[in-house]
Structure 1
Amino acid sequence: MKLGSLKEGGRDGTLIVVSRDLKRAVRASGIASTLQQALEDWENTAPRLNGLSEALNDGSAPGAFDLDMHALAAPLPRAYEFVDGSAYLPHVERVRRARGALVPESFYVDPLMYQAVSAGFLGPRDPVKVVSEDYGIDLEAEIVIVTDDVPMAVTPEQAAAHIQLIGLVNDVSLRNLIPPELAKGFGFLQSKPRSALSPVLATPDELGDAWQGNKVHLPMLTHVNGEWFGAPEAGVDMQFDFAQLVAHAARTRPLSAGTIVGSGTVANEDTSLGASCFAERRTVETLRDGKPSTPFMKFGDTVRIQMLDHAGNDVFGAIEQRIEQQPVP
């Protein structure tokens, strides 16, 4: 099934079930008012939501309506936790090589992960608002999974059973603010504003054989200003699968239902498949030419991030955003 949230009913939106073709939807009235509420009682709500999904897809769901992407909030408008990994090591290796640094051996056995912003997510058509272009505005096309309640110290094998939903995120980064923040040795803060989630989150079964080994085996397709930017294969060169990432996050603490875990920027060894962020493209240019030639994003630029299945169908709906200037209060 595919789930989304309407921009109504307060900060957490109104839960809807969305048709497989992303054209129709129905409110989950009587089952759960929000996706967070559904996830907190997933064992009971999931079968009922799935039944509503089947009725919607066969045309028998009462109260169904045409889906307007602009009416959608993020499927989880806010979450208790968002932890973001960096599981695609070709990206890490290139970035470090461009500045003359080696990748520590520990990176190959111990995932990189940080605590990201979860107090609010942008909707799939909401603009990205930034005070200044000087911040180095970048997109990051990533995959996310959403868990139910995860016990502390689960193994990766146990963690796999707690992956309930899959989607996409534009994990916005302000690249020029990152170096001075990391130099303090205390992690990201100002350099990581709010991110945007895809129109829907889908259960793993919706992906069919594209969900294998706790990875999504589809290209991550990104367009900037209507032009192809990249389509790296998400199932290739992912050092740590999502079960491993969940287990890493839960090593010393339980994870609450509704926790979002990110893959990090999708990247391949094969650079001909393009990039999922400007930092990646600029790094490739630096390694090739000695310096980057592609600037970061400007006000008025647009980004489109989506995944198509092997038949060309949109799986999660597209994140479509415009970069806009945020007025200073």
Structure 2
Amino acid sequence: MKLGSLKSPQSLDGELCVISRDLKTAVKATHISANLREALEHWKEKEASLQKLYTDLNEGKAANAFPVDEKNFHSALPRTWLFADGSAFIYHIKLVRMARKAPLPETLETVPLMYQGECGQFLAPTEDIPQRDFSHGTDFEGEVAVVTDFVPMGVTPEEALKYIRLFVLINDVSLRGLIPEELAQGFGFFQSKPASALSPFAVTADELGEAWKGGRIHLPLEVNYNGQFFGKANAGAMHFHFGQLIAHAAKTRNLAAGSVIGSGTVSNESHDKGSSCLAEKRMIEQIETGSIKTPFMKSGDTVEMQMLNEKGQSIFGKISQKVKAV
């Protein structure tokens, strides 16, 4: 099943829609639930009705279906109660720590890194990335993420996998120039992590097929920067799987339905796969050539992210953003 949030002047949460498997048509599902956040809070009561509508839509039986234009959609979940972003790709951690001359944590391979990000407002997937000071070092970060049902405190990693309801992509916007100073104060991130964007559509596990196994999505995340290939790192390389990330987040608290748990920047050790953020590429340039050639984003720069299935079809739709000076 694929779900999205149609932009609406009446609601910051948008209007819940069911999206066809090929992403070509949609139908409003507001008679089932006003928005996706509320649907997640009542998932047991709403799932069957949403699934039937999805089946009808794919079979051409849904009344009032309309063509999909991704520009008319918010992030799949426009706002929610929690965005907890992990850093489950060890190679990414090594590179960015190297870039800011910071030591690796002693628990690198045993305890996930995680921060709590902005969740009260996700940028739309085609919305400009606002930047008021380019010395801040604007960067994109391509990630995969899960959206949970209510998760009880103290859940085990294997139990945690059972609470995953949906999957999305994330462009986790980072301001690299602000990160070192914030972390040096012992209380970051905050200013260095502004609003991010989710993919236009969220999907259930069955839409991922055999790619969803071991708590990981074993598919490449395609990233284009200024219209050129930038990265195609496989998300299956996560060191910590999503069950471990959820359990880490829920160690001392319940997680509200609709919580978004991010993977961190998708990263592979093979450099021919490219990168999913500028910070990695810059560090690889430093290692391989002795100097950094790639600047951080400037006004007018564009980034696109999507994930394709084994048939070459887009699963989540596309994040397509441009930096804009404000």
Tell me which interval the TM-score lies in, with the shorter structure as reference length: over 0.9
| Cα offsets for 1:158-204 (capped at 9, x unmatched) | 10010000010100011101111111110111111100110100001
Kindly indicate whether the alpha-carbon contact (under 8 Å) linking 2:143 and 2:265 is maintained by their aligned counterparts in 1: yes
Structure 1 residue 99, shift from structure 2 partner: 5.2
The correspondence of residues 133-172 of structure 1 with structure 2, limited to 5 A, is 133-172=134-173
> What is residue 87 of structure 1 aligned with on the other side?
88
Supply the distance in 2 between the matched residues of 1:94 and 1:37 (Cα, whole angstroms): 39
Paired residues, what number? 325
**Alignment-mate amino acid for residue 172 of structure 1:** V
> What is residue 58 of structure 1 aligned with on the other side?
59
Percent of pairs with identical residues: 50
1:199 maps to 2:209:
no
Kindly indicate whether the alpha-carbon contact (under 8 Å) linking 1:146 and 1:259 is maintained by their aligned counterparts in 2: yes
Residues 216 and 305 (structure 1 numbering): CA distance in 2 closer, same or farther, change over 3 Å? Answer: same
**Alignment-mate amino acid for residue 115 of structure 1:** Q
Supply the distance in 1 between the matched residues of 2:249 and 2:215 (Cα, whole angstroms): 16
Structure 1 residue 93, shift from structure 2 partner: 1.5
- TM-score, structure 2 as length reference: 0.98
The correspondence of residues 1-329 of structure 1 with structure 2, limited to 5 A, is 1-8=1-8, 9-98=10-99, 101-236=102-237, 238-326=238-326
1:12 is paired with a residue whose SS is strand
Supply the distance in 1 between the matched residues of 2:198 and 2:15 (Cα, whole angstroms): 16
**Alignment-mate amino acid for residue 10 of structure 1:** S
| Cα offsets for 1:144-170 (capped at 9, x unmatched) | 100000000000111001000001010
2:177 is paired with a residue whose SS is helix
Kindly indicate whether the alpha-carbon contact (under 8 Å) linking 2:80 and 2:119 is maintained by their aligned counterparts in 1: yes
Structure 1: which 4+ aligned runs deviate by more than 4 Å?
98-102
Name the stretch that deviates more: 132-141 or 91-100: 91-100
| Cα offsets for 1:202-261 (capped at 9, x unmatched) | 00111100111111111010001110001011102x110001100100000000000000
1:309 is paired with a residue whose SS is coil
Structure 1 residue 287, shift from structure 2 partner: 1.6
Supply the distance in 1 between the matched residues of 2:135 and 2:267 (Cα, whole angstroms): 25
**Alignment-mate amino acid for residue 319 of structure 1:** I
Structure 1 residue 44, shift from structure 2 partner: 1.0
Supply the distance in 1 between the matched residues of 2:100 and 2:34 (Cα, whole angstroms): 49
Supply the distance in 1 between the matched residues of 2:92 and 2:244 (Cα, whole angstroms): 19
**Alignment-mate amino acid for residue 3 of structure 1:** L
Alignment gaps of 5+ in structure 1: none
Give the root-mean-square deviation of aligned CA atoms: 1.0
1:143 is paired with a residue whose SS is strand
1:176 is paired with a residue whose SS is coil
Supply the distance in 1 between the matched residues of 2:191 and 2:96 (Cα, whole angstroms): 21
Residues 98 and 137 (structure 1 numbering): CA distance in 2 closer, same or farther, change over 3 Å? Answer: closer
Name the stretch that deviates more: 14-23 or 281-290: 281-290
2:11 is paired with a residue whose SS is coil
Supply the distance in 2 between the matched residues of 1:15 and 1:131 (Cα, whole angstroms): 33
2:107 is paired with a residue whose SS is helix
Supply the distance in 2 between the matched residues of 1:166 and 1:83 (Cα, whole angstroms): 14
Structure 1 residue 271, shift from structure 2 partner: 1.3
Kindly indicate whether the alpha-carbon contact (under 8 Å) linking 2:134 and 2:298 is maintained by their aligned counterparts in 1: yes
- TM-score, structure 1 as length reference: 0.97
